[in-house]
């Protein structure tokens, strides 16, 4: 369904997202709440290619890879150290001067694009959603924007835009901590959603006999007969086997 291309050496390869949200879910949520487990494990974690720091003073963004000893202005963008020369050596001649930048300033003074060092290709009819890791205790020092890429036809850097939220303090990105979650999506279903309006019924009187029977089986039966937590989880996990 999806193939990742890791173009920057030294980082971690994408890996399947975990049902425990990388070990951060409460024990009860992990054991009994299948919707949380399923959402957490849908897709792949993607990591920064190395440790780096950003800092924003409200006007300018600076960055470093030296734990804060030397800071450099982001300006219009920067290349991953050594990548531009390596790209030039391997790429066809007409492509060699177009190495993707690692960091690129956004249109707003508090935003920038970060390249994961990855590219991705999906089977025809599939794309990907890029988003912050699902249900992971998330950061308060920046916001990651979500995006949808039609990776069955668009073969380019897998990057995301972020907005910085903390001023005058280093914001660190660790290569050992998931930065994004990449989730496959059917582009056919996506386009159907864009073209379709959701149906709506209002009031209890809108529920018909079939609706009440479904509610009875889903809610009432469980409330009357359930002897332990996690019945929905058990049934759902059996359906996945």
Model pLDDT for residues 145-166, shown as the tens digit of each residue: 999 999 999 999 999 999 999 9
Residues 23 and 139 in one domain: yes
- Give domain status of residue 153, yes or no: yes
Q: Taking all residues of the chain, what is their mean pLDDT, rounded to a whole number? A: 88
Predicted pLDDT of residue 95: 93
The 10s digit of each residue's pLDDT in 20-34 is 888 888 887 778 788
Task: Please provide the DSSP assignment of 123-184 as one string.
Answer: -TTEEEEEESPTTS---SSEEEPPEEE-TTT--SEEEEEEEE---SS-EEE-TTS--EEEEE
Residues 52 and 130 in one domain: yes
A 10 A CB-CB count for 133 gives 23
Spatial CB neighbours of 202, under 8 Å, sequence gap ≥ 6: none
List 73's β-bridge partners, or say none.
Answer: 62
Predicted pLDDT of residue 70: 86
C-alpha Rg value of the chain to the nearest Å: 22
Residues 217 and 185 in one domain: no
- Give domain status of residue 143, yes or no: yes
Residues 191 and 212 in one domain: no
Torsion of CA 8, 9, 12, 14, to 10 degrees: 40
Domain count, the chain: 2
Q: Vertex 74, ends 87 and 85: CA angle to 5°?
A: 15
Predicted pLDDT of residue 77: 82
- Cβ atoms of 105 and 120 closer than 8 Å: no
Residue 58: which CATH number? 2.70.40.10
Residues 121 and 227 in one domain: no
Residues 144 and 31 in one domain: yes
Residues 9 and 107 in one domain: yes
Residues 191 and 73 in one domain: yes
- Is residue 184 pLDDT above 90, yes or no? yes
Q: Express as a percent the part of the chain with pLDDT over 70.
A: 92
Q: Which two tokens stand for residue 230?
A: 């996690």
With H, G, I as helix, E, B as strand and everything else as coil, classify residue 110. Answer: coil
Cα separation of 5 and 168, whole Å? Answer: 35
- Is residue 134 pLDDT above 60, yes or no? yes
Backbone angles phi, psi at 126, to 5 degrees: -120, 145
- Give domain status of residue 200, yes or no: no
Cα separation of 211 and 201, whole Å? Answer: 12
- Is residue 98 pLDDT above 90, yes or no? yes
Full residue range of the structural domain in which residue 19 is found: 2-195
- Give domain status of residue 19, yes or no: yes
From the list 15, 179, 166, the residue with the least C-alpha distance to 103 is 179
Average pLDDT rounded to a whole number, residues 188-212: 90
- Cβ atoms of 18 and 39 closer than 8 Å: no
Residues 234 and 115 in one domain: no
A 10 A CB-CB count for 36 gives 19
Residues 190 and 88 in one domain: yes
pTM for the model stands at: 0.84
């Amino acid at each position: 369904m999806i193939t990742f291309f890791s173009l920057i050496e030294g980082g971690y390869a994408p890996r399947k997202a975990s049902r425990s949200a990388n070990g951060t879910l409460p024990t009860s949520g992990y054991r009994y709440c299948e919707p949380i487990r399923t959402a957490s494990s849908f897709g792949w974690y993607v990591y920064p290619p190395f440790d780096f720091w950003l800092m924003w003073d409200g006007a300018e963004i600076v960055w470093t890879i030296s734990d804060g000893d030397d800071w450099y202005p982001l300006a219009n963008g920067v290349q991953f150290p050594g990548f531009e020369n390596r790209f030039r050596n391997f790429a066809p001649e007409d492509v060699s001067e177009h190495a993707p930048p690692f960091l690129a300033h956004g249109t707003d003074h508090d935003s920038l694009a970060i390249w994961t060092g990855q590219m991705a290709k999906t089977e025809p009819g599939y794309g990907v959603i890029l988003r912050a890791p699902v249900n992971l205790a998330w950061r308060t020092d920046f916001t990651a924007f979500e995006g949808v890429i039609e990776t069955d036809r668009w073969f380019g850097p897998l990057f995301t835009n972020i907005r910085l939220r903390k001023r005058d303090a280093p914001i660190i990105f660790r290569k050992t901590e998931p930065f994004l979650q990449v989730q496959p999506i059917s582009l056919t279903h996506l386009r159907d959603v864009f073209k379709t309006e959701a149906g709506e019924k209002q009031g209890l009187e809108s529920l018909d006999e079939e609706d009440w029977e479904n509610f009875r089986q889903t809610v009432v039966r469980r409330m009357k007969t359930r002897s332990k937590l996690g019945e929905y989880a058990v049934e759902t996990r059996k359906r996945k086997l």
